Amino acid sequence: MKWTLVPLAALLLNYAQGLDAQVTVSAAVNAASYLNASLPNGNLTQGGAFVVFGKGLGPAQTAVVNAFPLPNNLAGTSVSVTVGGTTVPCIMLYTLATQVAAVVPSRTPVGSGTMVVTYNGTNSAPLKINVVAHDFGIFALNQGGSGPGVLVNAITNVVNSSSASANPGDLVDIWGTGLGPVAGDEAGGALPGNIPNLNLQVYVGTQQAQVMYAGRSGCCTGLDEIEIAVPAGVTGCAVPVYVVDGGVASNFTTMSIAESGSSCPQSGESDPSLLQIAQKNGGLRVGAVSLGRVHAYTATIDYQGDNASTYFVKIPAAYLEQAVQLPAANTCEVTQFPVGTSGAISGGALTGLDTGAVTLSGPIGPYTLHPISTGEAEIEFSPSTAAASPGLINDGTVLLPGTYTFTAAGGKDVGAFTASIALPAKLNWTNRPTVPASIDRTQPLTINWTNGFAGALLQITGQSQVSQGVGAQFTCWADAAAGTYTVPAAVLSALPHTYSNSGNAQGSLDVIQIYTGPVFTPPGVDYATTSFSDGFDIGPVTYQ
């Protein structure tokens, strides 16, 4: 048979239409937290809203429900869940080709099951899911479950922000989904009222907030509302907020709190005066000179690596407007990975600022830093076994305690300057576990140390993977001078059980002291800091 152009085109068209007709589901997540289903707090809930991702799920243009009762089929799309042999049609909210939102009916049994999405009569392959009674997720302004949360003043209905901060005692509504099941016809309309059998604690920074109401909102099916009184004793532009129900933490978001007034206490690159400079000049010229030392321990390696670096760039004003302060001491957050973002800076690219050659002198040296790019230079100190490379000192030299001075010759963007950093004695983690280590996620984790530097933060970071490249990380910050900090069990509960790859547990624990010193302003720079970091990295660690 001889092919002509028309039959061949028709064959290709039919093939493409066949592909479009396929319904493929890749994930189903809580509509607020967006947490991976493999994480301890990534379950679907009775009565909770969820989002399904995939291909061929619905029409090319978004179709949204607009009246009660809410349907089980919208523009040809329907979703069903099967648990324990019982199949229940879900309540539709919106649909399009790559994303569908719906509500798990409260009558759905709890337990492991499957989900099927149907579009125009074609079913997806079953997706494994787990339905529980309670697993609250907080909505975030980034629509991805992290950063500033959708927290609203209960009296004024103004969304919390750095310019609309809450004050101690204010009533604030936390919007989310997943509080639990309700009785009645959910599809027929909202069913407000406190949800029974909740074991809720809401944390704002380190303080537990008084819960005034926890139940369905008065507007929407599957949308929950927790009203709290903002506790005293915590302020900041990015105070962590999370909910613990039955010992399991929600996703972590942030809110802005001021002791009085509407503006949170800002500093650093978020300082309003610096933002004004950035807006006037199209960006802020910033710089940092830093010292760092880290001691890494594995089952077979004991390694210390130190470095000195400089970094000078112009940051676009649009990016600075999104910046937040460094966290406050005695606060924690948990983030999942991968985060599903490109990592690109919103608002434009950074532009390096030429400083000319930079040298380091002090208890060791002098050394000339190796240029990496415009505005960035570094020198590394590693054991004698390290392979030689530009900017590497591999004769066993390490950073000794004492005062170090960076001297820049000056370049086309930044004038000549000197900046000094006083590096204290090495941090000592006194109860550091022997690796491989094991950590119980159901118990608090206490970290003790000596040689903490007054004014520094101690950053404690633990990471656990549930599969290759998928997992969660907690980070807590403590006053470095305190000498001890206990990571709450609720924070650890958000980490998954660590999986092993080739016999090695894919988890780690870091304890790092971070200090940001005095600000200085070299010619051609609006804001520059001195800093040092000093700490430990251990692994493998199993979180169980």
For the chain, the structural domain boundaries read 5-132, 137-257, 281-543
- Name the one residue in this structure whose structure tokens are 């010759």: 409
CA-to-CA distance for 167 and 152, rounded, in angstroms? Answer: 12
The pLDDT of residue 281 is: 85
CB-based contact 402:362 (threshold 8 Å): yes
CA-to-CA distance for 305 and 455, rounded, in angstroms? Answer: 24
CA-to-CA distance for 26 and 125, rounded, in angstroms? Answer: 10
Q: What is the dihedral of CA 228, 229, 235, 238, to 10 degrees?
A: 20
What six digits make up the tokens of 103?
């509500």
Q: Which of 47, 209, 229 is nearest to 137 (CA)?
A: 47
Kindly give the residue spans of alpha helices, DSSP state H, lying in 53-139.
none
CA-to-CA distance for 327 and 351, rounded, in angstroms? Answer: 26
Helices and strands in the chain: count of H runs, count of E runs: 4, 44
The pLDDT of residue 323 is: 53
What six digits make up the tokens of 326?
């460094």
Other C-beta atoms lying within 10 Å of the C-beta of residue 214: 22
The pLDDT of residue 2 is: 32
The pLDDT of residue 348 is: 58
Q: Which of 154, 327, 152, 163 is nearest to 234 (CA)?
A: 327
Question: Which positions ≥6 away from 15 have C-beta within 8 Å?
Answer: none
Q: Which residues pair with 344 in a beta bridge?
A: none
SS3 543: strand
Mode of pairing for the β-strands spanning 417-423 and 44-45: unpaired
Which of the residues in the chain have pLDDT under 50? 1-20, 324, 340-347
SS3 17: helix
CB-based contact 450:483 (threshold 8 Å): yes
137-257 maps to which CATH number? 2.60.40.10
SS3 319: helix
Q: Is there a common fold for 5-132 and 137-257?
A: yes
Q: Which of 279, 280, 352, 350 is nearest to 317 (CA)?
A: 279
Burial group, residue 229, by CB count within 10 angstroms (0-12, 13-18, 19+):
middle
The pLDDT of residue 19 is: 42
Other C-beta atoms lying within 10 Å of the C-beta of residue 364: 17
Question: Which positions ≥6 away from 318 have C-beta within 8 Å?
Answer: 346, 347, 348
What six digits make up the tokens of 303?
């390694």
CATH 3.40.50.12280 is held by the domain 5-132: no
Q: Which of 347, 487, 336, 378 is nearest to 29 (CA)?
A: 336
Q: Which of 257, 254, 256 is nearest to 240 (CA)?
A: 254
CA-to-CA distance for 249 and 270, rounded, in angstroms? Answer: 29
SS3 525: coil
Residue ranges of E strands in 409-526: 417-423, 428-429, 437-439, 445-450, 457-467, 470-479, 484-487, 500-501, 504-505, 507-520
CA-to-CA distance for 65 and 73, rounded, in angstroms? Answer: 10
Q: What is the dihedral of CA 39, 40, 44, 50, to 10 degrees?
A: -40
The pLDDT of residue 387 is: 80
The pLDDT of residue 270 is: 53
SS3 16: helix
CB-based contact 241:334 (threshold 8 Å): no
Q: Which of 455, 451, 449, 475 is nearest to 463 (CA)?
A: 475
